[in-house]
Amino acid sequence: MTLPIRNVAIIAHVDHGKTTLVDALLKQSGIFREGEEIPDCVMDSNDLERERGITILSKNTAVRYQDTLINIVDTPGHADFGGEVERVLGMVDGCILIVDANEGPMPQTRFVLKKALEKGLRPIVVLNKIDRPQADPHNAINKVLDLFIELGADDDQCEFPYLYASGLSEFAKKELDDEDKDMQPLFEAILDHVPPPVGDPAKPFQLQVTTLDYSEYLGRIVIGKIHNGTIQMGQQAVLIDREGKHNKSKITKLLGFEGLQRIEIEEASAGQIVAIAGFADANIGETIACPDEPEPLPLISVDEPTLSMTFAVNDSPFAGQEGKFVTSRQLRDRLMRELETNVALRVEPTDSPDRFSVSGRGELHLGILIENMRREGYEFQVSQPQVIYREMNGQPCEPYELVVLDVPEDAVGGCMERLGQRRGEMQDMRVTGTGRSTLEFVVPARGLIGFRGDFMRLSRGEGLMNHSFLEYRPMSGELETRRNGVLIAFEEGTATFYALKNAEDRGVFFITPGTKVYKGMIIGENNRPQDLELNVCKTKQLTNHRSATGDELVQLQTPVEMSLERALEYISSDEMVEVTPESIRLRKMSKKLVKR
């Protein structure tokens, strides 16, 4: 006898406690043995996810509650990973929308919720973090209702059930006055409000590939929901690719989900989420079907990329010294491999064989790819991100973003002025009464390139910025995105304390004494609008005279640390970021630099 099934996705804005809430559900479902060490953020399996505290890859787990199998799909909360969200929402029949009881819905809440409503899902709203002193759950639920209406939810979707919860304290409750006990009310809400999967076990078999994995023993593993029919271990099936071609193969392994583990099963039927081995050429969105009556399911549609950058082989004087994979063939193979699982990514060749145009959903989307590649040992260089324009109704259009800033009140004027220069239009302003204000803007995507650094300076590091893709609109004209010139190394060598100290009045440095530099490498930001070449390898002339001030302690000003994201935002159109497993360097594209 097959267990009753519920397939549910958990969606939320970044840092609203989604992964912590999943941890609480897993712990209280009894999947861990007594005395077993239980890790935090169980579903964040990727190193970058744990470091940054965000979900990047969608993942699924399964728990049992009162003889019902609940498949829980954890989705990314950032709009840059919308490709992950779009493909997994087709696997579920309901969703849990988690909203911070203090902040209310945020830009990424809007993005993911819109996708869920378009799929016809009826969300269960969970107001998380209600045990915080500043929580205002009643105001938050009103904002959520306003957002539902704004996004065009139907009457049934607007009558959403809601719960109050704390993922960290591991409780959920229907009323604020109820006792803080456990997560049982949320489990009950899933059984009551998430419909069972629609599918007929008697129909011919159909499964849509929504996630890809790889095993050294089994090869490519495809994960998806069985829409119709029944599948058995060892049976023949047909892969229907995007062009409609049929490729027969045998199911060599059939795996189900139980807690955090994949377990071997002999049979699965409509509604179940399973992993299958045996289809080496399967790609996301394609259909695995019954060989006698193969019928493809509609392909998964994913929003187009909005940002592109050039990935090129590193040709700096330090090329090949720190990386393991440095050739154009290795770079191309890695990008092609990424295309197999990253549905929102596009890779296109250019006029040069060692350069590739890579397009994605935003700076974070592309930045995560770059960071993963450098950790794997790749060495390459990337250009400044450029927005992708489209022609709509005969006129050029560009992507616009919805931006929400949470800033101290004394930074409001500066942020409004700076975004105004970048063609931003203010939509809303709310004063929270705690010395902070929330500003909402609609800004062209190109106006946000390089803005984060300005924003952190304007808010003295205390501001919070969130943004998500809104829509394409007609071009808004030229932007004012002024940036000072850069300081450029004059020759190859090692930077010295003496040279850096003497040049301190020229600007701010990105390097420290002992850093190896080469001609054309960007070493800092000039105080003036022009670029300036400096000799930072000059050493102090030694004499046999003792200086009267020789024993005084002399210190350099603290250099600006250039992280990958900061470097990508900082560079201009004639500059590149050199990425290696050990270093992030900025450089001019042309080696022949003109002194100014």
User: Is 17 marked within a binding site?
Assistant: yes
Verify that 71 and 119 share a domain, yes or no. Answer: yes
Residue 294 covered by a domain: no
User: Is 78 marked within a binding site?
Assistant: no
- The better pLDDT of the pair 80, 596 is held by 80
Residue 428 covered by a domain: yes
Verify that 121 and 218 share a domain, yes or no. Answer: no
User: 307-313 and 355-360 as β-strands: parallel, antiparallel, unpaired?
Assistant: antiparallel
96 φ, ψ (degrees, to nearest 5): -110, 120
* Sole residue written with tokens 């009457």: 155
pLDDT digits (tens, 9 = 90+) for 543-556: 665 555 544 456 77
CATH number for the domain including 262?
Answer: 2.40.30.10
- Average pLDDT score over residue span 225-245: 87
CA 97 to chain centre: 18
Predicted confidence band at 102 (pLDDT cuts at 50, 70, 90)? confident
Verify that 493 and 449 share a domain, yes or no. Answer: no
Verify that 171 and 243 share a domain, yes or no. Answer: no
- Average pLDDT score over residue span 265-289: 85
Predicted confidence band at 580 (pLDDT cuts at 50, 70, 90)? very high
Q: Which of 61-75, 103-117, 283-297 has the lowest mean pLDDT?
A: 103-117
Which amino acid appears at position 124 of this protein?
I
How much is the mean pLDDT over the chain?
80
Verify that 177 and 249 share a domain, yes or no. Answer: no
Predicted confidence band at 463 (pLDDT cuts at 50, 70, 90)? confident
User: Is 466 marked within a binding site?
Assistant: no
Residue 458 covered by a domain: yes
pLDDT digits (tens, 9 = 90+) for 411-443: 889 889 888 888 888 888 888 667 788 888 999
Verify that 141 and 269 share a domain, yes or no. Answer: no
> Of the candidates 243, 272, 289, which is a domain's last residue?
289
* Sole residue written with tokens 């049976």: 235
444 φ, ψ (degrees, to nearest 5): -60, 140
Verify that 452 and 521 share a domain, yes or no. Answer: no
- Average pLDDT score over residue span 225-251: 87
Answer for the pair 565, 367: CB distance below 8 angstroms, yes or no.
yes
Percentage of the chain modeled with pLDDT above 90 = 7
Q: Which of 55-59, 249-253, 370-374, 482-486 has the lowest mean pLDDT?
A: 55-59
Residue 481 covered by a domain: no
The span from the CA of 43 to the CA of 73, in Å, is 10
Looking at residue 332, what is its pLDDT? 92
Looking at residue 16, what is its pLDDT? 66
pLDDT digits (tens, 9 = 90+) for 501-547: 888 888 888 988 888 999 989 999 888 888 888 888 888 776 665 55
The SS3 of residue 62 is strand
CATH number for the domain including 509?
Answer: 2.40.50.250
Q: Which domain holds residue 58?
A: 5-193
Verify that 188 and 41 share a domain, yes or no. Answer: yes
Verify that 48 and 189 share a domain, yes or no. Answer: yes
CATH number for the domain including 169?
Answer: 3.40.50.300
- Please give the tally of structural domains in the chain: 4
CATH number for the domain including 444?
Answer: 3.30.70.240
- Average pLDDT score over residue span 126-132: 86
Residue 464 covered by a domain: yes
User: Is 131 marked within a binding site?
Assistant: yes
This prediction's pTM: 0.70
User: Is 524 marked within a binding site?
Assistant: no
Predicted confidence band at 592 (pLDDT cuts at 50, 70, 90)? very low
Q: Which of 31-35, 330-334, 377-381, 558-562 has the lowest mean pLDDT?
A: 31-35
pLDDT digits (tens, 9 = 90+) for 383-408: 988 888 888 888 888 888 888 888 88
Looking at residue 380, what is its pLDDT? 93
Verify that 437 and 460 share a domain, yes or no. Answer: yes
Residue 164 covered by a domain: yes
> Of the candidates 136, 170, 193, which is a domain's last residue?
193
Answer for the pair 391, 456: CB distance below 8 angstroms, yes or no.
no
Verify that 81 and 162 share a domain, yes or no. Answer: yes
Listed in order, strand segments (DSSP E) in 101-190 are 123-128, 162-166, 171-173
Assess whether pLDDT exceeds 70 at residue 594: no
> Of the candidates 241, 273, 289, which is a domain's last residue?
289
User: Is 19 marked within a binding site?
Assistant: yes
Verify that 502 and 427 share a domain, yes or no. Answer: no
Residue 303 covered by a domain: no
- Average pLDDT score over residue span 275-291: 84
pLDDT digits (tens, 9 = 90+) for 32-51: 544 444 444 444 444 544 44
Residue 466 covered by a domain: yes
- Average pLDDT score over residue span 150-172: 84
